[in-house]
Structure 1
């Protein structure tokens, strides 16, 4: 099976991990979600040809983020306009969080016996995310607000051992692509196959709900995560990163 294009993956990601506030400027999109993750709180370009007045539009985006009470962030993918890249370079914006998109054709998976599919608002799922991510109440509320904005089929996934939740993540299906996010395992119980058990459980749900492609984002320095996803059949598709304002030249 031929995997989708970069644009197809990015547009699916836009729907699967939405902003609460969204504004389009041509093929550039600004998203804000109370500061929960860079992906949902960033400027992104979806067409390399959309290059007009890049410096002015970047400044307008910075002002928009300021009005939202957020730091300015740009998500840089292979779709970014060279003119936007040049404007970022000229203003000395720094590259951070180098990452990859991994994907694979989706096949049937077997859910783990200790795995459970929950709604995104289920208190058990929220508590699992809060506890394993070590979120304070304010950050948990930001997560809940973003989850409430999701308008595609989605679920929370937890895996339990001896009555204790030891791994969690979420799955969201957009345009036939299941996008996985917020994957976390109890640090004291790593290397026990728990991340794989959570992924298998969520992918089984996604396959049963019509997804044909699986995708996820992983930081370039997350060696363990990349090994896990490769073991499940995911392969590297393309790189992306974020850019944040640096000291003026």
Structure 2
């Protein structure tokens, strides 16, 4: 699927993903959104285009001033919605290319319930702490992670995969506009290689189907081919790419 020929799809998925991972400080500016969440996760602390070929004139200076007031660096998330001049200008200004990733989408043909996956409509303290620990988040970032998940508004579930009396996997699914987005997917390192990640994703896709979704999406780093292969086995295909531009020396 060519992102350049489907700006409406990009816009829908970008809006759904932003709603699924909210930021408490959000400003809209001429087709762009500037989000801040105390530095927790890049996508909640970055500038993103929300309309196709959003105007770039003055945007870099606006963003830099905005984040300076918040005491944070200006980080830009570049998708095909952003004009090419934005990425070129940031490169010229010394912003470093960082963390290229894919948004992948799939029909729900692989969806299947799993008795080991328990879904709760709101995050519990054990789910929040367990997810943050399994993801390897710094302990001081846990309150920001927990607040982010608690702030999700669209219908959602927090899933825990249990095996042998232990919580071994976690995931968040958010349903909006016929799409179910999958976030915070993680299996404990000691339990990987047993098919638990596949079971978790299939169960969350099944919840999405029951909630009215027709398709699923998720985000995965290009540097994580193992996860990409897992998702491809479940029918996910790369739909569009994005990357970040962060302040620093050019590489």
Conserved 8 A contact 1:102-1:236: yes
Q: Could you tell me which residue of structure 1 aligns to residue 161 of structure 2?
A: 159
- Cα displacement (A) at 1:29: 0.8
Q: Could you tell me which residue of structure 1 aligns to residue 67 of structure 2?
A: 65
Q: Could you tell me which residue of structure 2 aligns to residue 126 of structure 1?
A: 128
Tell me: CA distance 1:167–1:177, structure 2 relative to 1, closer, same or farther (3 Å). Answer: same
SS in 2 for 1:14: helix
- Cα displacement (A) at 1:182: 1.1
Question: Which residue among 136, 151, 169 is the counterpart of 1:149?
Answer: 151
- Greater displacement, 119-128 / 89-98: 119-128
Q: Quick check: 1:27 aligned with 2:24?
A: no
Conserved 8 A contact 1:129-1:168: yes
1:6-50 Cα distance to aligned partner (Å, 9 max, x none): 222112212222221110111011011222211111001133433
Looking at structure 1, the residues matched to 56 and 239 of structure 2 have their Cα atoms a distance apart, in angstroms, of 28
Q: Could you tell me which residue of structure 1 aligns to residue 194 of structure 2?
A: 192
TM-score by length of 2: 0.91
Q: Could you tell me which residue of structure 2 aligns to residue 168 of structure 1?
A: 170
RMSD after superposition: 2.1
Structure 2 unaligned regions, length at least 5:
1-5
Looking at structure 2, the residues matched to 29 and 66 of structure 1 have their Cα atoms a distance apart, in angstroms, of 16
Question: Which residue among 202, 205, 212 is the counterpart of 2:214?
Answer: 212
Looking at structure 2, the residues matched to 91 and 57 of structure 1 have their Cα atoms a distance apart, in angstroms, of 13
- Cα displacement (A) at 1:70: 2.2
- Cα displacement (A) at 1:134: 3.0
Structure 1 unaligned regions, length at least 5:
none
- Cα displacement (A) at 1:52: 4.9
1:197-236 Cα distance to aligned partner (Å, 9 max, x none): 1112211111111111100000001111001101111111
Q: Could you tell me which residue of structure 2 aligns to residue 89 of structure 1?
A: 91
How many matched pairs? 246
